[in-house]
Amino acid sequence: MKTTIRTDHEARAAAPAAAESPMIEIRGLCKQFGAFQALNSIDLVIPKGTVFGFVGPNGAGKSTTMSILATLLAPTSGTAKVGGCDVTRHPKQVRKLIGYMPDFFGVYDQFKATEYLHFYGASYGIPKAERARLIPQLLELVNLTDKKDAYVDTLSRGMKQRLCLARCLVHDPELLILDEPASGLDPRARIEMREILKELKSMGKTIVISSHILPELAEMVDEIGVIEHGRMVAKGNVQEIQSRMRVKRILQIRLAGREEEAEQYLGGRPFVNRILRDGRGVHVHFDGHDEEQSELLHGLIEQGFRIISFSEAQTNLEDVFLEITKGDGEGE
Amino acid sequence: MKGTNGCADKWRSRLINPVLGKEFTLRMRTVRSMWALFFYLLAIGLLALGYLYVTRMSSSGANAFNPDESRIMFIFISFVQLGLIAFMAPGLTAGVISGEREKQTLNLLLTTQQSSASIVISKLVSSLSFMALITLATMPVYSIVFLFGGISPGQLGMVFLFYWFTMLALGSFGILFSTLFKRTMLAVIVAYGITLFLFGGTAFLYLIVSQIMEEMTRSSGGAPGDFGWIGHLLALNPGAALYSLFDPEMTRWVFRMNMGSGGSLSTGQPALQLWQEFLIIYSILIIAAVLTAIRSVRPRLNKKSKRA
């Protein structure tokens, strides 16, 4: 299913500098609520067409950053630009460029799905005839074509989330800001949402997405930013961050006998933190880099241990997240 | 035919913006609106018929209905209607913005291309339209008065214009509180509190201040006209303003112009009738309330850059 959604809206005309500038440019962004520092000098640049995953524990500042980008919150200091437009100086132009889906949102229950999209389409100034052409495409994209005449209050949570996503797309924005779009969804609805997001990614949209379900993010994002206590503690390509974090790695060694001896030998080697032994082999928590790892293997072979396998346990985004956020800025 | 439809659509889209269209549609799709209309008509109908019944009983069963009594009945129904408007307007408007905020739909609306003015004014117009519909639906009750004479259609028209203006004023205050307060409950309480003050508080203040001033004037040997300024307090009262529409003498009485020095009758005329002063004061308050609501509905994003 490949759905083309293009409208003749003025979004592109709104940002003459947009072609050259990154989609999002945040510099020294701070937000204070009374004594609480929600954001502390955030810097972030997201190029066009990137799918950026925002990761962080609850209250870290993800939603605050997204609200500022969506022109719903004024920053205390710093600047945030979307498509080259400053969110505080040109909020109307920014709103043309973004489709925002908050973590919690309501719907107008007495509207039918089609009417709901017509209302938002009209609110973005899309002519009626164009809306009539566009809305069936959007409903098809989010797999709600068979629910077009259903009242919104009869839709399931997952369907409402998808309808809200269609609402975000009604004016064909260049940037989608999705705050926990899969929260509260059952596994099937989550998979459906993920497929739609992949489709949007293939359409070239820039997507900023936050989620607690990290394996889902890992599958679709190009870059991640880890935020904790209002600070960006890590950001960059998912693989890069994973390899950076892999300095603390777990080695899995399977031996053909002499496991106790191997455990004693490994215990005396540099960079080895901790050794666990179970029925599947010896697990070594290792602080060294690739070179030290190679020396460790070489030493084992020299000592005459018969090695069946020597491998590095796969770290996923969850491991990275836990590693980075286990202390105040420790991962930085 | 297609051209006519296209033209109609064009005019419709000019006159009814998306927020207003949404408000109209959603309001009329709820059963609550139908029940509100039903109970309003029931209340005013019962009061009008009850008044008619009591008057007829007290006039010893005479079959004729005196035009003077008809006029009093008109005034009675008009005040009942004003009371019902005062009861309804804050309830209908004090939740329109805060309600969207509580339902978590406001943020979605604020990220569209709709301006703050369009959102606030559309919601106000929608609420006022519903109230106007309800007041227009009471016309048959007023027809009872026309059966007996004593009232001109012009007077009826004036009274309805006064109602709509009062609705606009109370609705503007309601929408202002709905914007300023995050919780609908608080906005509704404050809106009803202000309405109560405007109807009861100003009258009470007038009575208290006039008593104090009379005492002070009497002891100092001044004339009642010296403290005519207290009449401005009643210019804030919608009930007093409505009565001044029926009885122009009321304004002279309120401003103590019927009593000159030493209690002699004065021939002077007030510069403005009470209802005219009411219109001026409330026009300013309406503009201030609506503008403040428009400024408050969205966060002020550019305050930092302006300062910079």
- Domains of chain A plus CATH, in order, are 11-235 (3.40.50.300), 247-314 (3.30.70.100)
The amino acid at A158 = G
Across the range B128-148, mean pLDDT stands at 87
* Test the B interface: residue of A73, A89, A104, A123 with most B CBs within 10 Å: A123
Q: What is the pLDDT of residue B283?
A: 97
Q: Of B160, B167, B170, whose CA–CA distance to B139 is shortest?
A: B160
Q: What is the pLDDT of residue B67?
A: 67
Mean pLDDT by 10 residues, chain A (332 residues): 44 46 92 92 92 87 94 94 94 94 90 95 92 94 92 91 92 93 80 85 90 71 88 82 66 84 84 79 81 85 87 70 56 35
Distance from the B300 Cα atom to the nearest Cα atom in chain A, whole angstroms: 7
Residues of A in contact with B9 (CB under 8 A): 128
Q: What is the pLDDT of residue A208?
A: 94
Return phi, psi of residue A183, to 5°.
-70, 135
> Would you place residue B174 in the very low, low, confident or very high pLDDT band (cuts 50, 70, 90)?
very high
> Measured between CB atoms, which of B22, B104, B112 is closest to A106?
B104
> How far, in whole angstroms, is CA A101 from its chain's centroid?
14
Portion 104-123 of A in contact with B at CB < 8 A: 104-108, 110-111, 115, 119-120, 122-123
Q: Which residues contact B145 (CB under 8 A, 6 or more apart)?
A: B70, B73, B74, B77, B151
The answer to whether residue B253 scores a pLDDT higher than 60 is: yes
**Distances A192 to A137, A162, A182, A218, B96 between C-alpha atoms, Å:** 17, 9, 10, 16, 35
Q: Of A251, A176, A230, A185, whose CA–CA distance to A206 is shortest?
A: A176
Residues of A in contact with B24 (CB under 8 A): none
Across the range B34-61, mean pLDDT stands at 84
Domain extent, residue B219, equals: 14-298
> Measured between CB atoms, which of A89, A125, A167 is closest to B305?
A89
**Total count of domains within chain B:** 1
- Residue B304 belongs to some domain of the structure: no
Q: Of A152, A121, A182, A230, whose CA–CA distance to B108 is shortest?
A: A121
Token pair belonging to B260: 């000159």
Do the chains contact at A108 and B109, CB–CB below 8 Å? no
Beta bridge partners of A223: A52, A237
Q: What is the pLDDT of residue B151?
A: 78
Residue B13 contacts A where some CB pair is shorter than 8 Å: yes
- Residue B7 belongs to some domain of the structure: no
- Cα angle B268-B271-B277, degrees, rounded to a multiple of 5: 135
| Tally of CB atoms within 10 A around B42 | 10
Residue A84 contacts B where some CB pair is shorter than 8 Å: no
Rounded to whole angstroms, the Cα distance separating A233 from A329 reads 6
Contact A62, A179 (CB under 8 A): yes
Q: Of B164, B159, B178, B132, whose CA–CA distance to B290 is shortest?
A: B178
Residue with tokens 């070594």: A284
- Residue B307 belongs to some domain of the structure: no
Residue B304 contacts A where some CB pair is shorter than 8 Å: yes
Residue of A nearest to B26 (CA): A110
Q: Of B279, B259, B257, B254, whose CA–CA distance to B269 is shortest?
A: B257
Distance from the A42 Cα atom to the nearest Cα atom in chain B, whole angstroms: 18
- Residue B209 belongs to some domain of the structure: yes
Residue B14 contacts A where some CB pair is shorter than 8 Å: no
Helix axes B153-180, B116-137, angle to 10 degrees: 140
The answer to whether residue B1 scores a pLDDT higher than 50 is: no
Token pair belonging to A78: 């710093």
Q: What is the pLDDT of residue A332?
A: 34
> Measured between CB atoms, which of B105, B107, B113 is closest to A108?
B105
Q: Of A58, A26, A18, whose CA–CA distance to A235 is shortest?
A: A26
* Test the A interface: residue of B10, B19, B113 with most A CBs within 10 Å: B113
Rounded to whole angstroms, the Cα distance separating B164 from B167 reads 5
What percent of chain B clears pLDDT 70, i.e. is strictly above it? 83
Residue of A nearest to B12 (CA): A128
- Residue B24 belongs to some domain of the structure: yes
Q: What is the pLDDT of residue A292?
A: 82
| Tally of CB atoms within 10 A around B156 | 17
Q: Is the dihedral of CA B140, B145, B147, B152 positive or negative?
A: negative
Return phi, psi of residue A276, to 5°.
-125, 145
- Which strand ranges, in their side-by-side order, compose the sheet holding A231-237? A98-101, A175-179, A206-210, A51-55, A223-228, A231-237
Contact B228, B255 (CB under 8 A): yes
Q: What is the pLDDT of residue B11?
A: 65
Contact B162, B239 (CB under 8 A): no
The answer to whether residue B302 scores a pLDDT higher than 90 is: no
Residue A89 contacts B where some CB pair is shorter than 8 Å: yes
The answer to whether residue B226 scores a pLDDT higher than 80 is: no
Token pair belonging to A136: 């069936």
Residue of B nearest to A80 (CA): B301
Residue B22 contacts A where some CB pair is shorter than 8 Å: yes
Contact B139, B132 (CB under 8 A): no
Contact A99, A66 (CB under 8 A): no
Distance from the B108 Cα atom to the nearest Cα atom in chain A, whole angstroms: 7
The answer to whether residue B133 scores a pLDDT higher than 80 is: yes
For residue range B44-53, list pLDDT tens digits in order: 999 888 888 8
Q: Output A261 or B133, whichever has higher pLDDT.
A: B133
| Tally of CB atoms within 10 A around A12 | 14
> Measured between CB atoms, which of A88, A91, A164 is closest to B304?
A88
Residue B99 contacts A where some CB pair is shorter than 8 Å: no
Determine if residue A257 is left, alpha or beta; phi over 0 gives left, psi from -120 to 50 gives alpha, anything else beta.
left
Contact A193, A158 (CB under 8 A): yes
Do the chains contact at A123 and B26, CB–CB below 8 Å? no
Residue A136 contacts B where some CB pair is shorter than 8 Å: no
Most distant CA pair in chain A, distance: 79
Do the chains contact at A105 and B18, CB–CB below 8 Å? no
- Residue B60 belongs to some domain of the structure: yes
Do the chains contact at A72 and B111, CB–CB below 8 Å? yes
Residue with tokens 């709103």: A95
Residue B155 contacts A where some CB pair is shorter than 8 Å: no
Q: Which residues contact B280 (CB under 8 A, 6 or more apart)?
A: B272
Q: What is the pLDDT of residue B9?
A: 63
Q: What is the pLDDT of residue B258?
A: 56
SS3 letters for chain A?
CCCCCCCCCCHHHHCCCCCCCCCEEEEEEEEEECCEEEEEEEEEEECCCCEEEEECCCCCCHHHHHHHHCCCCCCCEEEEEECCEECCCCHHHHHHHEEEECCCCCCCCCCEHHHHHHHHHHHCCCCHHHHHHHHHHHHHHCCCHHHCCCEHHHCCHHHHHHHHHHHHHCCCCCEEEEECCCCCCCHHHHHHHHHHHHHHHHCCCEEEEECCCHHHHHHHCCEEEEEECCEEEEEEEHHHHHHHHCCCEEEEEEECCCHHHHHHHHHCCCCEEEEEEECCEEEEEECCCHHHHHHHHHHHHHCCCCEEEEEECCCCHHHHHHHHCCCCCCCC
Do the chains contact at A120 and B114, CB–CB below 8 Å? no
Across chain B, mean pLDDT equals 84
> Measured between CB atoms, which of A70, A73, A110 is closest to B26?
A110
- Cα angle B292-B106-A93, degrees, rounded to a multiple of 5: 80
Portion 10-69 of A in contact with B at CB < 8 A: 67
Across the range B168-176, mean pLDDT stands at 96
Q: Which residues contact B10 (CB under 8 A, 6 or more apart)?
A: none
Beta bridge partners of A236: A224
